[in-house]
């Protein structure tokens, strides 16, 4: 039988002690914090808190298929909004959050999908109007109030943006006969209507690899693959108005997310923007520059970044960085979504080198953590993943700012993934593994991202819609029958319990993290790993005075011991969390004994002269 000793009490006392004074080398102005210093909270506004029930149906009237509002259905709007987010900022502040990243808030097409398979744009990724918040969430004035209130607490605001596609408005006259299958550039070139035997069009256009205005001025006919059709009722639905012209879309059919169609195909039917087109590039820069200028946001999470051509990012990123600089926003953080669920960072690192994205979501870290805590793989997996940090543009220093995470709104919650890997796991052990995952993420390199609801022990039934539960009292049966961890509550009641063991763990580790720059800006060195599940250890070093910190973790359900390497000058250790030895065993080695799924976070407090 596994005996679990959750090491919270020792953490609580030490964290409170360190939270009373400013962090060594700390910055009073939140704008000066580097991305690696942020503790990020990722939230879907629709599922967090309903601050204003009067906007539940947005700008629409009618039933659920007209308004998109149905709090009993997992794929429809539930009522959360910007006022609700603003009202709960104190809760997030007590959790330790320093930056809020929320799913897109732009006006969406309220409902999409064929009869019987409809769902709503509650998630924000089906944009029709890029210039204002969705009416279900509130107004531009309410968004400004939210940003100002967050900034007043020293919290940054990261917007989730989309440049790859819009809502599904364009259809193809000849699409149903092929089920909208992707049509390649080789079989359906820009120079003919339909296939290579068709009527010649777009004379002088030399292809999408030349993004000059001169070249694209010759692309005038969009009927090269399919014949795009915009329904009369929606011919002016997109804002800005240029987005209504089919010439600014690839119009090649649905992507299979492999090869050519990964960049040129429609993402699940959504209208795929022709991001090689200079007007599209100019337009997207105009759109998102305005959000920076008007609301002074602090960064962007970039949706579906790998489905956009590199040339787009090479223009977009420096343009937005220049706008942020003009607006007095240093450390403006842009990180792309490059989905890849393997514990190796070579693939996602490509996008920081070829595409020149400043940063990417650390999917490699997420996959490695699942290997360790869901599949009982050796801690060597995590060590090898960190070895790959040299692959990013800027190397290991750049990797310090990668947003790390355990689960999300697409792949599912970390608790759910572990439960998939271990269907017979007990609630007690599931809680212990999830707590260890958060302790590791909050101690190791990167900018940790907490997925909303994880701090309340949410355990979903799956990914996508099944991982997007309500924090306010839910009316969705498929959520309310979930068995949460660390609590007897269900999602049928409000879940903002600040005594939940996961809330307390995250809050306490956040205070330790913020009090010690080694844990935010410090270089990381792997100190111990094993070929099997067991001990993992890493040192972090204070960026100003070089003080060494040791983070040691046990990924097994039994007590484990290890002799961990550290600097030969180290003599005594101070405990910040868990249980650290008071002194080294001999120069260069300290003996650690950790309980099942336990941890120790230590600071070298005395060194030899």
Q: Please report the DSSP string for 335-389 in residue order.
A: EE-----SS--HHHHHHHHTS--SEE-BHHHHHHHHHHHTS-B-THHHHHHHHGG
Distance CA 491, CA 440 (A): 27
User: Beta partners for 336?
Assistant: 302, 360
SS3 256: coil
Question: What pLDDT is recorded for position 257?
Answer: 95
Within its chain, how far is the Cα of 365 from the centroid?
Answer: 12
pLDDT digits (tens, 9 = 90+) for 263-272: 999 999 999 9
Half-sphere exposure of 68 (CA within 13 A, CB side): 28
513 pLDDT more than 50? yes
Region of 50 (left: φ > 0; alpha: ψ -120 to 50; beta: rest) is beta
507 pLDDT more than 70? yes
360 pLDDT more than 60? yes
How do 99-102 and 156-161 pair as beta strands?
parallel
In angstroms, what CA-CA distances link 4 with 403, 421, 437, 594?
29, 20, 15, 11
SS3 125: coil
Active-site residue, selected from the candidate residues 49, 134, 142, 303:
303
Question: What pLDDT is recorded for position 22?
Answer: 35
The closest of 366, 369, 357, 345 to 304, measured between CA atoms, is 357
The closest of 404, 305, 390 to 356, measured between CA atoms, is 305
User: Beta partners for 539?
Assistant: 525, 550
Question: What pLDDT is recorded for position 337?
Answer: 98
Average pLDDT (121-138) is 98
Q: What is the DSSP letter of 273?
A: B
Question: What pLDDT is recorded for position 387?
Answer: 98
pLDDT digits (tens, 9 = 90+) for 534-547: 999 999 999 999 99
| 11 — pLDDT class (breaks 50, 70, 90) | very low
Q: What is the DSSP letter of 583?
A: B
8 pLDDT more than 90? no
- For the record, the structure tokens of 439 come out as 């302790």
- For the record, the structure tokens of 409 come out as 């709104």
Distance CA 253, CA 180 (A): 5
Write down the residue that tokens 């809330």 correspond to: 503
Distance CA 362, CA 339 (A): 9
Question: What pLDDT is recorded for position 609?
Answer: 83
What dihedral do alpha carbons 371, 374, 378, 379 form, nearest 10°?
80
* % of the chain at pLDDT higher than 70: 95
Q: Which helix (H) or strand (E) covers residue 215, if one does?
A: helix 213-216
In angstroms, what CA-CA distances link 599 with 435, 436, 534, 563, 607?
10, 7, 11, 14, 23
pLDDT digits (tens, 9 = 90+) for 218-244: 999 999 999 999 999 999 999 999 999
Question: What pLDDT is recorded for position 14?
Answer: 39
Active-site residue, selected from the candidate residues 49, 208, 266, 337:
337
337 is catalytic: yes
Using alpha carbons only, what angle is made at residue 152 by residues 151 and 153, rounded to the nearest 5 degrees? 85
Average pLDDT (160-186) is 97
Instruction: Please state the pTM of the whole predicted model.
Output: 0.95
Distance CA 244, CA 76 (A): 25
Question: What pLDDT is recorded for position 323?
Answer: 98
5 pLDDT more than 70? no
Question: What pLDDT is recorded for position 12?
Answer: 40
pLDDT digits (tens, 9 = 90+) for 291-319: 999 999 999 999 999 999 999 999 999 99
Neighbours of 498 (CB within 10 A): 12
pLDDT digits (tens, 9 = 90+) for 57-99: 999 999 999 999 999 999 999 999 999 999 999 999 999 999 9
The closest of 481, 425, 434 to 455, measured between CA atoms, is 434
* % of the chain at pLDDT higher than 90: 95
- For the record, the structure tokens of 281 come out as 């590039």
C-alpha radius of gyration, the chain, whole number: 25
| 212 — pLDDT class (breaks 50, 70, 90) | very high
No. of H helices and E strands in the chain? Answer: 18, 21
Distance CA 253, CA 264 (A): 9
Measured in residues, the chain has a length of 609
SS3 391: helix
Question: What pLDDT is recorded for position 341?
Answer: 94
Do the beta carbons of residue 111 and residue 60 sit within 8 Å?
no
The closest of 513, 533, 512 to 521, measured between CA atoms, is 513
pLDDT digits (tens, 9 = 90+) for 412-453: 999 999 999 999 999 999 999 999 999 999 999 999 999 999
Question: What pLDDT is recorded for position 26?
Answer: 35
37 is catalytic: no
């Amino acid at each position: 039988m596994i005996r679990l000793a959750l090491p919270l009490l020792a953490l609580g006392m030490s964290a409170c002690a360190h939270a009373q004074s400013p962090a060594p080398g700390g910055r009073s102005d939140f704008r000066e914090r580097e991305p690696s210093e942020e503790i990020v909270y990722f939230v879907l506004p629709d599922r967090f808190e309903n601050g204003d029930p009067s906007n539940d149906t947005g700008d629409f009237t009618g039933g659920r298929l007209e308004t998109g509002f149905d709090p009993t259905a997992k794929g429809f709007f539930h009522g959360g909004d910007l006022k609700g987010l603003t009202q709960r900022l104190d809760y997030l502040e007590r959790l330790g959050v320093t930056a809020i990243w929320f799913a897109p808030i732009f006006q969406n097409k309220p409902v999409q999908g064929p009869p019987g398979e409809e769902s709503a744009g509650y998630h924000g990724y089906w944009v029709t109007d890029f210039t204002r918040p969705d009416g279900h969430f509130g107004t531009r004035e309410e968004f400004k109030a939210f940003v100002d209130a967050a900034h007043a607490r020293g919290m940054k605001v990261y917007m989730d943006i989309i440049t790859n596609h819009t809502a599904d408005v364009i259809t193809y006259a000849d699409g149903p006969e092929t089920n909208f299958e992707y049509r390649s550039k080789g079989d359906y070139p820009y120079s003919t209507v339909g296939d290579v035997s068709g009527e010649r069009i777009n004379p002088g256009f030399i292809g999408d690899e030349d993004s000059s205005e001169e070249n694209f001025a010759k692309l005038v006919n969009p009927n090269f693959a399919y014949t795009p059709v915009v329904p009369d009722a929606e011919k002016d639905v997109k804002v800005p108005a240029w987005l209504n012209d089919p010439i600014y879309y690839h119009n090649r059919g649905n992507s299979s997310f492999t090869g050519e169609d990964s960049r040129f195909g429609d993402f699940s039917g959504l209208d795929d923007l022709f991001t090689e087109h200079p007007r599209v590039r100019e337009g997207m820069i105009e759109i998102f520059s305005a959000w920076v200028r008007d609301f002074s946001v602090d960064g962007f999470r970039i949706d579906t970044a790998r489905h956009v051509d590199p040339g787009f990012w090479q223009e977009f990123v420096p343009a937005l960085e220049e706008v942020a600089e003009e607006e007095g926003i240093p450390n403006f953080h842009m990180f792309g979504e490059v989905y890849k669920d393997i514990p190796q960072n070579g693939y996602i690192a490509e996008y920081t080198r070829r595409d020149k994205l400043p940063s990417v979501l650390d999917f490699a870290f997420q996959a490695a953590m699942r290997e360790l805590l869901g599949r009982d793989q050796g801690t060597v997996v995590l060590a090898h993943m960190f070895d790959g940090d040299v692959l990013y543009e800027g190397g290991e220093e750049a990797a310090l700012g990668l947003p790390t995470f355990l689960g999300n709104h697409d792949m599912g919650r970390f608790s759910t993934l572990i439960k998939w890997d271990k269907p017979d796991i007990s609630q007690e052990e599931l809680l212990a593994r999830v707590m260890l995952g958060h302790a590791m993420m909050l101690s190791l390199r990167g900018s940790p991202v907490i997925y909303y609801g994880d701090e309340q022990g949410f355990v979903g039934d799956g990914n996508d819609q099944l991982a997007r539960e309500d924090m306010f009292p839910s009316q969705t049966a498929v959520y309310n029958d979930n068995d949460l961890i660390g609590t007897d509550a269900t999602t049928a009641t409000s879940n903002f319990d600040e005594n939940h063991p996961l809330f307390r763990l995250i809050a306490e580790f956040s205070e330790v993290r913020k009090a010690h720059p080694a844990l935010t800006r410090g270089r990381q060195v792997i100190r111990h790993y094993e070929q099997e599940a067991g001990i993992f250890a890493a040192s972090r070093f204070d960026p100003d005075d070089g003080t060494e910190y040791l983070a040691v973790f046990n990924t097994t359900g039994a007590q484990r011991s290890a002799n961990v390497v550290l600097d030969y000058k180290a003599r005594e250790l101070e405990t910040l969390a868990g249980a650290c030895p008071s002194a080294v065993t001999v120069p260069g080695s300290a003996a650690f004994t950790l309980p099942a799924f336990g941890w120790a976070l230590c600071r070298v407090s005395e060194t030899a002269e």
